[in-house]
Chains A and B, each alone.
Chain A
């Protein structure tokens, strides 16, 4: 018995196995062909799904922007509208760079700048949601801006401590520690979104449907992002699956924004929650309480 040569290819390795198991060689070759075809189909499907999840949300963002233009909501939510345009522009640039096969380093730089811009816009959107409760009163908007800065400072510290404690005992396992900053900002955004909802409840104000939709969309992405990062960094899931989940979450967020942009709101406008006759009635009743 001599030493068997090492199999040169996967097919030959598989065939060696088949020979050892006494399976006819032709059937063996057919099995290899089928398995390779299945793998190829799976790869193509994955590629198509990724392509769809990359392109579709940005097409829908254009639809959301068009709906906002038609309903003139871009005047009430200028930061959110600007964010939509920024995301569309960013996608167009990255898409062109991908098609024209630019250098990977340039692509990464543009992508990183785009991510930083998206995060900055999201903070602006959160401030916009908070100021929507007192939209026309300029002094109150300044008060709210100050409150938001204080809340952001406290929450940023808490988020930093949280992320530091989560990663401190597995620092060696991390592939890219720099993403901890990204995660801290995501957790900060989650905290600020909670602050927006609690603020409206504190004032006893009903949030506009569109504001609720924006908050829900941002919350879904910001809430899942740290978990998906961790799944990738600690190799708990296949990186392709994590990418699909991340893109899927963003797709769902855009669908939420589209739904709330199109749906008819229960009240015609934010400030006319109470009609003038009702406001008179309550004010008259209040006078009766005070002077009785």
Chain B
């Protein structure tokens, strides 16, 4: 009985140290170079999250059929969100790089990209969480399409950086 706390704490310590070792190994194995940005069809994503489209389907389909179709649409929307989230992470890296530019205006633009890409990343994480909850009950909740606008906003900002970097 006396050894139970020792065994529990020993197990927790070993598990934590293994986790730490794995994270250190993972950090040392990544090169820090980012992969190419993945293309995202924002129109298709907007269509999947359009509330009018959802209403149309709800009215014209049986409840069972609507739930089935809506779950498929939500899975597809989730895949788009994952790609947008990955791209947002890459945009954070690009923004951080540009924020070190000697020109103050360019550096400020880079920081702006970091700020917006970071917010986009958080929004994507929350939206994915909401999407998973919506999968349980697709008739009650529907995902938001504001992510597409945010993504377009930060992507346009990033795409305008080449002019500043060339200056």
- A-side residues, CB < 8 A to B, are 134, 136-137, 139-140, 143, 162, 166-167, 169-170, 173, 187, 190, 193-194, 197, 200-207, 209, 212, 215-216, 219-220, 223-224, 226-227, 230-231, 234, 236, 266-267, 269-276, 278-280, 282-287, 289-290
Contacts and interface: CB of A to CB of B under 8 A. Distances in A.
B43 to A, nearest CB: 12
Interface string B64-94: 0000000000000000000000100111111
Interface residues of B, number: 59
Contacts of A234: 2-3, 5-6
Q: Is the interface of B mostly helix, strand, loop or mixed?
A: helix
A137 B94 contact: no
Contacts of A204: 34, 86, 89-90, 92-93
A240 B20 CA distance: 28
Contacts of A274: 33-34, 93-94, 96-97
Interface in B1-58: 1-6, 8-10, 12-13, 16-17, 19-20, 23-24, 26-28, 30-34, 36-37, 39-40
B35 to A, nearest CB: 9
A166 B5 contact: yes
Q: Is the interface of A mostly helix, strand, loop or mixed?
A: helix
Interface string B108-132: 0001001100100100010000000
Contacts of B8: 166
A204 B84 CA distance: 13
Contact of A167 (B5, B19, B160): B5
Contacts of B114: 134, 136-137, 140
B150 to A, nearest CB: 14
Given A137-B115, A167-B5, A203-B121, A212 B93 contact: no
B93 A219 contact: no
Contacts of B26: 201
Contacts of A169: 1, 4
Contacts of B91: 286
B152 interface: yes
B154 to A, nearest CB: 10
A226 B121 contact: no
Given A137-B115, A202-B121, A223 B96 contact: no
A173 B2 contact: yes
Contacts of B23: 197, 201
